[in-house]
Structure 1
Amino acid sequence: MSADRVAGRTALVTGAGNGLGRAIAHALSAAGARVVLTGRTRATLDAVAEELASAAAGVRVAVCDTSSPESVAALRAELSDEDVSILVNNAGIAGPVDALVDVEPADWDEVFAVNVRGVYLMCRAFLPAMTAAGRGDVINVASVSGKRPLARRTPYTASKMAVLGLTVTLAHEVGTLGVAVNSLSPGPVAGPRMTRNFRLEAQRTGVTEAEAEQAFVSRAALQRMVTEEEVGAAAVAMLRMPGLTGADIDLSAGMIAR
């Protein structure tokens, strides 16, 4: 393992075709890791791979639906020639924005299938090789929404709370086997998803989108949202922190207030 704990290793990033997954892949590649990009849509994965094409450590694309046991098993077989020692479970969906009593069971199940079962299946598939080697790192991307109320987002919030519980428990299971397991909890990230949320909130409350955004970011200590690049940098920083396991890193610009 490289002295800086990242360079020369192979990192598998789920949900890597856009958003936080793309940013984390870029940060890992810049830090010298070989990056395996996975997700459900080859076109977006190929686009990110093209962005990273000049990386000295290399990049690889592998399509996978992480909520499917069969798809994850196929991914593990496809990557049997890769020494994956970093697993970043980033794939996730936002789910419905509605009162709990109006959430359909199918929508609830879909959120948990992607956000929780996907983490379980990926860990189940790739941890054995790490524990056999006596080294490895798992970063589960959770959310500050798993630590504070978020009205009309019960499926998402509950799923992220589940990821936090999975992380700390798994850390104790595999810590003596040389594998560190941590979670990274971003706060609201500037980008298309939050822009959409501000538009919907403005429509619901009768204010402007700018007013909806200002009311939201005023709750943060830094009076702003975090960026995708900051989330990518945080993932790399976590990997460079010996002794960090069973921890949740809050990256919210101070928006963790309950």
Structure 2
Amino acid sequence: MKMIEKMQPRAGLRVLVTAGASGIGEAIASAFLETGAKVLICDIDEASLQRAELAYPGIQTVKADVASEADVARMLDLARERFGGLDVLVNNAGISGPTGAIDALELDEIRATLDINLLGQFLVVQKSAAMLRESDAGAIINVSSVAGRLGYGLRTPYAATKWGIVGLTQSLAKEMGPDGIRVNAILPGIVRGPRMENVIRSRAEAEGVSYADMEQQYLANISLRRMVDPEDIASMALFLCSPAGANISGQAISVCGNVETI
């Protein structure tokens, strides 16, 4: 195989992307579709799923909440029914969680962040493990964040889950490696898009500064002084599932322009 051919996944991979109807998840799903993969996405937003169906002919969709065991089981049953199995799991679903001092946070907001961001990844891996073991190209990509390697004041529930995802990834790599399944985490930095705009706006309000000033604070903490695009994350996902990434496992890989602090 020529080196250039090793740099992209083989055609026909069966891929599940959670929260795949917008943002990073949509970029990853679209990228896999371009390689000839069979792609199933889930999301909790029916309108976004309908839009994805129109934008990407052939994509499979299902409404599912990754924090719901019943929804996850139904989603994986659908993957078996539609694809006959699964080769790649992209655990992307997550929420930003609350912004504020630890003693000002509502317990239900903390629990929702833990359930969706961390428990959700546990559940999806648990329900998909048998299918991934049957694959000859099994791979799991858990989407964490640079907040999974750096402390993040005023965003403690979010940061705690993202550090947890790195621990989950490294543990699963050891557990599932003997079955030929590679497990890695991607740690996106400040990703351009509506979600990041909301994060910046919430933090600006919490600190009593303007949106423009807060945005500049974020950019000043990045060595390259720029945000990354969702497609940058998708490119790394493709590489990790390509023959060129065959011996990469247990890694937490930042795609962030070198975020120095947050």
TM-score (norm 2): 0.90
1:224 corresponding residue in structure 2: 226
2:248 corresponding residue in structure 1: 244
Matches within 5 A, 1:1-258: 4-53=8-57, 58-81=58-81, 82=83, 83-205=85-207, 207-240=209-242, 241-257=245-261
Q: Deviations over 1:179-202 (max 9, x none)?
A: 111100000111122223333444
2:12 partner SS:
coil
Q: Name the CA distance, whole Å, in 1 between partners of 2:126 and 2:201.
A: 39
Q: Name the CA distance, whole Å, in 2 between partners of 1:255 and 1:103.
A: 26
Is 1:37–1:49's contact at 8 Å kept on the other side of the alignment?
Answer: no
Is 1:134–1:177's contact at 8 Å kept on the other side of the alignment?
Answer: no
Q: Name the CA distance, whole Å, in 1 between partners of 2:109 and 2:231.
A: 30
Q: CA RMSD in A?
A: 1.8
Is 1:6–1:28's contact at 8 Å kept on the other side of the alignment?
Answer: no
Structure 1's 115 and 200: CA in aligned 2 closer, same or farther, altered over 3 A?
A: closer
Q: Name the CA distance, whole Å, in 2 between partners of 1:200 and 1:116.
A: 22
| Residue identity matched to 2:45 | T
State percent identity of aligned pairs: 32
| Residue identity matched to 1:75 | M
Is 1:141–1:185's contact at 8 Å kept on the other side of the alignment?
Answer: yes
User: How far is 1:257 from its partner?
Assistant: 4.6
| Residue identity matched to 1:90 | N
2:16 partner SS:
strand
| Residue identity matched to 1:184 | I
1:249 partner SS:
strand
1:119 partner SS:
helix
Structure 1's 6 and 109: CA in aligned 2 closer, same or farther, altered over 3 A?
A: farther
Q: Name the CA distance, whole Å, in 2 between partners of 1:141 and 1:256.
A: 19
Structure 1, unaligned runs of 5 or more: none
User: After the TM superposition, which of the residue ranges 128-137 and 138-147 deviates more from structure 2?
Assistant: 128-137
User: How far is 1:31 from its partner?
Assistant: 2.0
Q: Deviations over 1:84-125 (max 9, x none)?
A: 111000000111001111112211111111001110110011
User: After the TM superposition, which of the residue ranges 43-52 and 74-83 deviates more from structure 2?
Assistant: 74-83
By relative contact order (CA 8 Å, sep 6+), the higher-ranking structure is 2
Structure 2, unaligned runs of 5 or more: none
Is 2:9–2:35's contact at 8 Å kept on the other side of the alignment?
Answer: no
| Residue identity matched to 1:122 | V
* Count of residue correspondences: 253
Is 2:88–2:138's contact at 8 Å kept on the other side of the alignment?
Answer: yes
2:30 partner SS:
helix
Is 2:144–2:162's contact at 8 Å kept on the other side of the alignment?
Answer: yes
Q: Name the CA distance, whole Å, in 2 between partners of 1:132 and 1:28.
A: 20
User: How far is 1:25 from its partner?
Assistant: 0.8
User: How far is 1:204 from its partner?
Assistant: 4.8
| Residue identity matched to 1:65 | D
Q: Name the CA distance, whole Å, in 1 between partners of 2:209 and 2:37.
A: 45
